[in-house]
Protein backbone atom coordinates (compact mmCIF):
# COMPACT_ATOMS: atom_id res chain seq x y z
CA UNK A 1 0.00 0.00 0.00
CA UNK A 2 1.34 3.43 -0.97
CA UNK A 3 1.28 6.08 1.74
CA UNK A 4 0.27 9.65 1.13
CA UNK A 5 2.87 12.01 2.70
CA UNK A 6 0.27 14.68 3.51
CA UNK A 7 -1.99 12.20 5.32
CA UNK A 8 1.04 10.75 7.12
CA UNK A 9 2.09 14.24 8.29
CA UNK A 10 -1.44 14.97 9.54
CA UNK A 11 -1.56 11.69 11.44
CA UNK A 12 1.97 11.97 12.88
CA UNK A 13 2.23 15.64 13.94
CA UNK A 14 1.92 16.10 17.71
CA UNK A 15 2.02 19.05 20.09
CA UNK A 16 5.57 19.40 21.39
CA UNK A 17 6.23 20.91 24.82
CA UNK A 18 9.97 20.21 25.27
CA UNK A 19 12.55 21.72 22.94
CA UNK A 20 16.26 21.54 22.29
CA UNK A 21 18.19 24.74 22.90
CA UNK A 22 18.72 25.24 19.17
CA UNK A 23 17.36 28.11 17.05
CA UNK A 24 15.01 27.53 14.13
CA UNK A 25 16.86 28.65 10.97
CA UNK A 26 15.54 31.62 9.03
CA UNK A 27 15.05 29.47 5.94
CA UNK A 28 12.71 27.15 7.89
CA UNK A 29 10.78 30.12 9.27
CA UNK A 30 10.37 31.46 5.75
CA UNK A 31 9.14 28.06 4.51
CA UNK A 32 6.57 27.89 7.33
CA UNK A 33 5.37 31.43 6.65
CA UNK A 34 5.03 30.67 2.95
CA UNK A 35 3.02 27.52 3.79
CA UNK A 36 0.73 29.69 5.92
CA UNK A 37 0.01 31.98 2.98
CA UNK A 38 -1.28 29.02 0.96
CA UNK A 39 -4.15 28.47 3.40
CA UNK A 40 -7.64 29.09 2.08
CA UNK A 41 -9.33 32.34 3.11
CA UNK A 42 -12.82 33.76 2.76
CA UNK A 43 -13.16 35.54 -0.60
CA UNK A 44 -9.37 35.21 -0.90
CA UNK A 45 -8.74 38.15 1.46
CA UNK A 46 -5.59 36.49 2.87
CA UNK A 47 -5.89 38.51 6.09
CA UNK A 48 -2.96 37.05 8.02
CA UNK A 49 -0.02 38.98 9.37
CA UNK A 50 2.73 37.63 11.59
CA UNK A 51 4.81 38.74 14.55
CA UNK A 52 7.93 36.64 15.03
CA UNK A 53 9.55 36.38 18.46
CA UNK A 54 12.79 34.44 18.68
CA UNK A 55 14.07 36.11 21.84
CA UNK A 56 13.69 33.79 24.85
CA UNK A 57 13.86 36.68 27.34
CA UNK A 58 10.94 38.37 25.60
CA UNK A 59 8.95 35.12 25.59
CA UNK A 60 9.63 34.71 29.32
CA UNK A 61 8.50 38.29 29.93
CA UNK A 62 5.25 37.67 28.02
CA UNK A 63 4.73 34.41 29.90
CA UNK A 64 5.22 36.16 33.25
CA UNK A 65 2.62 38.79 32.28
CA UNK A 66 0.11 36.14 31.16
CA UNK A 67 0.32 33.75 34.13
CA UNK A 68 -1.40 35.87 36.83
CA UNK A 69 -4.24 36.75 34.45
CA UNK A 70 -4.70 33.09 33.55
CA UNK A 71 -4.79 32.09 37.23
CA UNK A 72 -7.53 34.68 37.85
CA UNK A 73 -9.56 33.34 34.89
CA UNK A 74 -9.50 29.71 36.02
CA UNK A 75 -12.20 28.55 38.43
CA UNK A 76 -11.19 27.43 41.93
CA UNK A 77 -12.88 24.09 41.45
CA UNK A 78 -12.26 21.57 38.75
CA UNK A 79 -10.64 18.36 37.75
CA UNK A 80 -7.05 17.35 38.43
CA UNK A 81 -5.89 18.80 35.11
CA UNK A 82 -7.21 22.25 35.99
CA UNK A 83 -5.75 22.09 39.48
CA UNK A 84 -2.39 21.04 38.02
CA UNK A 85 -2.49 23.91 35.52
CA UNK A 86 -3.09 26.45 38.28
CA UNK A 87 -0.10 25.06 40.21
CA UNK A 88 2.13 25.27 37.13
CA UNK A 89 1.00 28.83 36.43
CA UNK A 90 1.87 29.80 40.03
CA UNK A 91 5.42 28.43 39.61
CA UNK A 92 7.80 31.32 38.74
CA UNK A 93 9.92 28.95 36.62
CA UNK A 94 7.00 27.75 34.48
CA UNK A 95 6.93 29.27 31.01
CA UNK A 96 3.68 29.04 29.01
CA UNK A 97 5.88 28.93 25.88
CA UNK A 98 7.84 25.90 27.19
CA UNK A 99 11.18 27.65 26.56
CA UNK A 100 10.76 27.18 22.81
CA UNK A 101 13.20 29.07 20.61
CA UNK A 102 10.50 30.55 18.36
CA UNK A 103 7.02 32.02 18.86
CA UNK A 104 4.85 33.26 16.02
CA UNK A 105 1.64 35.23 16.53
CA UNK A 106 -0.86 35.22 13.68
CA UNK A 107 -3.28 38.12 13.45
CA UNK A 108 -5.75 39.46 10.96
CA UNK A 109 -8.10 42.35 10.40
CA UNK A 110 -11.24 42.11 12.54
CA UNK A 111 -13.93 40.23 10.62
CA UNK A 112 -16.21 37.27 11.20
CA UNK A 113 -14.09 35.00 8.97
CA UNK A 114 -10.55 35.98 9.95
CA UNK A 115 -10.35 33.59 12.91
CA UNK A 116 -10.97 30.68 10.53
CA UNK A 117 -8.54 31.99 7.93
CA UNK A 118 -5.78 32.51 10.50
CA UNK A 119 -6.46 29.10 12.07
CA UNK A 120 -6.01 27.39 8.71
CA UNK A 121 -2.80 29.35 8.15
CA UNK A 122 -1.60 28.18 11.58
CA UNK A 123 -2.34 24.54 10.74
CA UNK A 124 -0.39 24.87 7.48
CA UNK A 125 2.57 26.27 9.43
CA UNK A 126 2.51 23.43 11.95
CA UNK A 127 2.33 20.78 9.23
CA UNK A 128 5.14 22.43 7.28
CA UNK A 129 7.23 22.59 10.46
CA UNK A 130 6.67 18.89 11.09
CA UNK A 131 7.88 17.97 7.61
CA UNK A 132 11.06 19.99 8.34
CA UNK A 133 11.67 18.07 11.59
CA UNK A 134 10.48 21.02 13.70
CA UNK A 135 7.94 20.60 16.48
CA UNK A 136 5.13 23.01 17.29
CA UNK A 137 2.41 23.69 19.82
CA UNK A 138 -0.56 26.05 19.66
CA UNK A 139 -0.57 28.13 22.87
CA UNK A 140 -4.21 29.15 23.20
CA UNK A 141 -3.59 30.75 26.58
CA UNK A 142 -1.36 33.37 24.91
CA UNK A 143 -4.04 34.73 22.57
CA UNK A 144 -5.81 36.73 25.30
CA UNK A 145 -2.48 38.20 26.38
CA UNK A 146 -1.59 39.14 22.81
CA UNK A 147 -4.92 40.95 22.37
CA UNK A 148 -4.33 43.20 25.37
CA UNK A 149 -3.99 46.71 23.81
CA UNK A 150 -0.59 47.35 25.44
CA UNK A 151 0.82 43.99 24.31
CA UNK A 152 -0.69 44.38 20.81
CA UNK A 153 1.29 47.60 20.45
CA UNK A 154 4.49 45.88 21.58
CA UNK A 155 3.87 43.12 19.01
CA UNK A 156 3.16 45.70 16.26
CA UNK A 157 -0.37 44.34 15.80
CA UNK A 158 -2.57 47.05 14.22
CA UNK A 159 -5.51 48.33 16.28
CA UNK A 160 -8.05 47.01 13.77
CA UNK A 161 -6.57 43.49 13.98
CA UNK A 162 -6.98 40.64 16.45
CA UNK A 163 -4.44 37.96 17.29
CA UNK A 164 -5.96 34.54 16.56
CA UNK A 165 -3.06 32.15 17.13
CA UNK A 166 0.17 31.90 19.09
CA UNK A 167 2.36 28.98 18.04
CA UNK A 168 5.72 27.90 19.38
CA UNK A 169 8.29 26.06 17.26
CA UNK A 170 11.54 24.25 17.85
CA UNK A 171 13.40 20.99 17.55
CA UNK A 172 11.74 18.42 19.82
CA UNK A 173 13.79 17.23 22.76
CA UNK A 174 13.80 13.45 22.48
CA UNK A 175 12.14 13.39 19.06
CA UNK A 176 8.49 13.25 18.09
CA UNK A 177 6.22 11.16 20.32
CA UNK A 178 4.02 8.47 18.82
CA UNK A 179 0.52 9.64 17.99
CA UNK A 180 -2.15 8.40 20.41
CA UNK A 181 -5.04 6.29 19.17
CA UNK A 182 -7.87 8.39 17.78
CA UNK A 183 -11.57 7.63 17.89
CA UNK A 184 -13.27 7.13 14.53
CA UNK A 185 -15.31 10.09 13.25
CA UNK A 186 -18.86 10.39 14.55
CA UNK A 187 -21.26 10.88 11.70
CA UNK A 188 -24.47 12.47 12.93
CA UNK A 189 -26.32 11.97 9.70
CA UNK A 190 -25.61 11.12 6.12
CA UNK A 191 -27.78 12.86 3.54
CA UNK A 192 -27.40 11.26 0.13
What angle separates helix 80-90 from helix 56-73, to the nearest 10 degrees? Answer: 130
pLDDT at residue number 179: 83
Task: With residue 7 as reference, give the H or E element that holds it.
Answer: helix 5-12
Q: How confident is the model over 138-162, as pLDDT tens digits?
A: 999 899 999 999 999 999 999 999 9
Alpha carbons 140 and 112: distance in angstroms, whole number: 19
Domain parsing of the chain, residue ranges:
5-55+97-170
List CB contacts of 111: < 8 A, sequence separation 6 or more: 42, 45, 47
CATH code given to domain 5-55+97-170: 3.40.109.10
From the CB of residue 173, how many other CB atoms can be counted at a distance below 10 Å?
Answer: 15
Q: How confident is the model over 160-176, as pLDDT tens digits?
A: 999 999 999 999 999 99
Question: How far is CA 76 from each of CA 38, 73, 185, rounded to the nearest angstrom?
Answer: 42, 9, 34
SS3 26: helix
DSSP 8-state class, residue 164 = E
Question: What pTM does this model have?
Answer: 0.93
Alpha carbons 128 and 58: distance in angstroms, whole number: 25
pLDDT at residue number 2: 60
Are 42 and 188 in contact, with CB atoms under 8 Å apart? no
Nearest to 142 by CA among 84, 60, 76: 60
pLDDT at residue number 132: 97
CA angle 93-107-72, nearest 5°? 40
Alpha carbons 46 and 114: distance in angstroms, whole number: 9
pLDDT at residue number 1: 54
* Below-70 pLDDT ranges, the chain: 1-2, 77-78
Classify residue 184 as exposed, middle or buried by CB count within 10 Å of its CB (0-12, 13-18, 19+): exposed
Amino acid sequence: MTTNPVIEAIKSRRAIRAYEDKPVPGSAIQTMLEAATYAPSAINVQPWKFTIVNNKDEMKRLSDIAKPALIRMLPDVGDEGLIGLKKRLADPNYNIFYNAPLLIFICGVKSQYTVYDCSMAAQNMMLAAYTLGIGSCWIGTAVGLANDPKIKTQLAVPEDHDVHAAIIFGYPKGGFPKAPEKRPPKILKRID
